[in-house]
Structure formats: structure tokens, C-alpha cells
Amino acid sequence: MQKILVANRGEIAIRVMRTARKMGIKTVAVFSEADRDAPHVRFADEAVCIGEAPSSKSYLKGAHIVEIARTMRVDAIHPGYGFLSENSGFARTVTEHGLVFIGPGPEAIQTMGDKLAAKEAVKAYDIPMVPGTDHAISDMDEALEVSRNIGFPILIKAAAGGGGKGMRIVEAEKELKSQIQRAMSEAESAFGDGSVFIEKYISSPRHIEIQVMADTHGNILHFFERECSIQRRHQKVVEEAPSSVLTSELRDRMGRAAVDVARACGYVGAGTVEFLLDGEHNFYFLEMNTRLQVEHPVTELITGVDLVDLQIRVARGEKLPISQEELRIRGHALELRVYAEDPQNDFLPSVGKLERYRLPEGPGIRVDNGFEEGMQVPIYYDPMLAKLITYGSNRIEAIQRMLEAISMYQVEGVATTLPFGDFVCRHPAFRSGDFNTHFVREHYSAELLRAREETEARIAAAVALRQYLEDQKQLRIPT
């Protein structure tokens, strides 16, 4: 493998290219007209414009990207996350054109891309599942019966759903029919597939996922868990590894279940098996994501492996160079997704120009970044600017480093989730480890954040004033 094309943009494109470069592999970037001056374009050895700003006219044009890869004499394509990464048709086109797709086979992507098909695929392996329907709902009477048996509240989910979209909580029987109809039409317009199903709504779960990696020789490893319970709109904002609630026995059981899920679909490459963990520490299989996850760096920091390096090795047909017994957890890692979103305003995207943009540096701090000062945050794509990742020998040290890193991170021109990250890291519920996926609803409000920022500003002003008065005293010339 001499040359890789990265069919993505932003931090993940750079992240992948960094490892490729380390392995002596040349890189090709693709970019839309909106990204002409983006750092990922300059980072690559070669770069090609693939179309207009909207992703449907650039980053999602699979056939066009494959065509470019062939012209550029590329050997393999890495899809990153998002865009074409979980598109089985794209994976197939890539291989049909004699190129290597750095990811699982199209069949595994297809099966795991449908939450119902995924549950069906893993049935033979005795994986615990959230109680609910195992097929798409077409009959309202059946839906009612299932919901009564499970007990309200229940959750309606789109089979093709992703990114926290297509989910509806139903609190009471009288809302069921209208909510199912609404969920179906939403799923149809968002995913082109109106299939929905019912799951028991687990009341205060934690989101725990297991990183897996499989080679083409039948070896499947798991790289322990990531805790991703700090979410807004069912989407992760803060992740960490390891989780503060898993015992080594539970970790082992969940790891083995994840390996079974991968085995069930003939998986190859990096993947993530997501579970919910309830208050009694029962875990339930949610879904499998068939790509490198946004939050993969926390796993890299606690295990010392480079997951992209392993992805490339596996794609070259090599055997995984480590065994499960050799893998160990060392220390603790935390990740904050730095989104251009306003935590004071319901986490709505905050687009604009990065008037000031300075990254933190120091021991135990890693920033996977895709932006630089002076750049406009495009409205066309996911508004994540960077991932701020910290490492410590224990959880409190990692949290403390995160607080320091947040205070060093300078962004002007757009609102970001940095103040929210600060809020989380100082909150007693987070610090004690006693939290679940409802952290934002239960502990956070824009008013609390504002009040804290005002107090901090007052303290800063008082400190500055005292310093000023002291300086004045020293400057006074004795008469």
C-alpha cells in the first residue's frame, strides 16, 4: 500500500493522514470548494477538488471519488467517519474498482447499518438486548400490545437511524399511535426508510461502548470500553476511558459480547459495539458502528495502540500484531468534542469566522484539530472544530488536565462547547462518577453556566484590581 486517499475532511482526515505518513504511505486529500484553504488539504501530499460545498455535491459523491482515486493511482481509500464511511454501496464500488476499502466488507456494513438486521444477526450469540419488537412495526394493535407488555415509557426508533435522530419517547398509551406515525414519516424523510421499531425505554442508562478490531485471519480483539453518557440530543459531547463503573469482571463480559457481535457479522477492521448499562449493571446491545469512531483517541491513550495503524495493517491483510492478553488499561483519558455550538442557546450551531483560534499544549494534552485562525466555520458540515483529549495516570488527573487545557484553548468569533466541558469537569456528579445519559437534563442549564461565568468574571476582575492597586503602591515614589 503506497498511497491512500482519505474521503473525508477536517480533523479526521488529518488524523488518518498523520498515521499514513508515519507508516511511509503517501496521502491524497479530497476537498469541496468551501474547503479549498482547509488544513487537511495542505496536510496531504496531493489534493483534488471534488465539487461544490454541499456534501451531496462533493464528499458524498462516491463514484466520483473512486474515479479520482484511480486517476491518482491510489491503492486504498479510508472513509473516516460520517459521509461515506457506513455506505455499503461505496465500500462495494471501491473494491469493484480494484482498490482496498479501509473498513469492513459491504455485507457487514449493510447488516449493522440497520438496527433490526443487526439484532437479528447477533441473535445466535446470546447477546442481551433491550426488550422490544424484533421487526418493523406495521400493525398498531401489535404495537400497543408490545408496549403494554414492556410498560411505558417506551422508545420508538428508526431502524435506519443514526446520529441520535429518529427517536421518540412515548410516555403514555394515548400518544402511541400518533407518535408512531410521526416517527415513520420522519424516518422516511431523514433516512429514506420508514421502518420503526419499539424498545423499552431504559430509565437512567449509561452509554458504554466497546472498541473492537478484527483481522482477515479470524482474530478479533476488544480494546475495552468508552463511557459516552454525557450527551445532548442523544449525541455524545464528553467521552472517557475507562468507565468509572465497570468492574473487571463486567468489562470482560461486555468485551466478550462485543467480540461475539463482530463475529456474528463476519467483521473486519475497526468497529464499535454500543451498549446501554442500567442501574443494576445489566447491559443491553444497542447497535454496532462499522467505522472508526469520533471518540477513538481515548482508547488509544489508555491502551497505547494507534487504531488507524491497525486499520491499515488489517486492510493490507496482515494479522493483528497483539493478543488480547497483551492489552492493558493504563491511566485514564477524557475527550471533549469542541463543537461550534452555543451551550447558552440550546447547543445550536454557531457559525462565523474564527477571529482567534489558539490550541492548548502540554503534557497529557492531545488536540485532534481541523481548523485554524482566520477560517470560516462552514455551514455545510458537522460543526465540530476539534477534539480536546487529555490523559492522566488516574481519572482526577485527566479531569484536572482537561480543565487546564480548556482554559488555555482560545476561541473568538464563534461560541463553542468549551465552557460546557468546563461545567462538566467541575460538576460533583461527573467528578464522583455518578451520572447517566440524562446529565444535561438533570444537572445543566444555560442559567447555571452563565451564573458560573459571571462569578468567574467577577473574581478575575477583583484579582486584576488588587494587582493594579499593588502595582500602583510599588510605583509610588517616596518623597
Residues forming the active site: 291
Buried b (16+ CB within 10 A) or exposed e, 220-230: bbbbbbbbbbb
Minimum CB–partner distance for residue 43 and ligand ADP (Å): 29
Minimum CB–partner distance for residue 405 and ligand ADP (Å): 25
Minimum CB–partner distance for residue 112 and ligand ADP (Å): 11
Neighbours of 339 (CB within 10 A): 26
Contact (CB, 8 A) for 38 and 15: no
For residue 378, say if its preceding peptide bond is cis, omega within 30 degrees of 0. Answer: no
Closer to ligand ADP at the Cβ: 233 or 356? 233
| DSSP β-ladder status, 348-349 and 356-358 | unpaired
Question: Rule CB under 6 A: which residues touch ligand ADP?
Answer: 130, 155, 161-165, 199-202, 205, 207, 231, 234, 274, 276, 286-287, 437
Count Cβ atoms within 10 A of the Cβ of residue 180 and give its class: 0-12 exposed, 13-18 middle, 19 or more buried. buried
Minimum CB–partner distance for residue 470 and ligand ADP (Å): 51
Closer to ligand ADP at the Cβ: 194 or 378? 194
Which of 153, 397, 122 has the alpha carbon at shortest distance from 261?
A: 122
Which of 72, 58, 69, 59 has the alpha carbon at shortest distance from 94?
A: 69
Which of 185, 146, 237, 283 has the alpha carbon at shortest distance from 155?
A: 146
Which of 357, 386, 352, 350 has the alpha carbon at shortest distance from 373?
A: 357
Look up residue 196 and give its amino acid.
Answer: V
Closer to ligand ADP at the Cβ: 100 or 167? 167
Closer to ligand ADP at the Cβ: 164 or 279? 164
Look up residue 389 and give its amino acid.
Answer: I
Minimum CB–partner distance for residue 236 and ligand ADP (Å): 7
d(CA 437, CA 276): 10
Which of 238, 311, 306 has the alpha carbon at shortest distance from 270?
A: 311
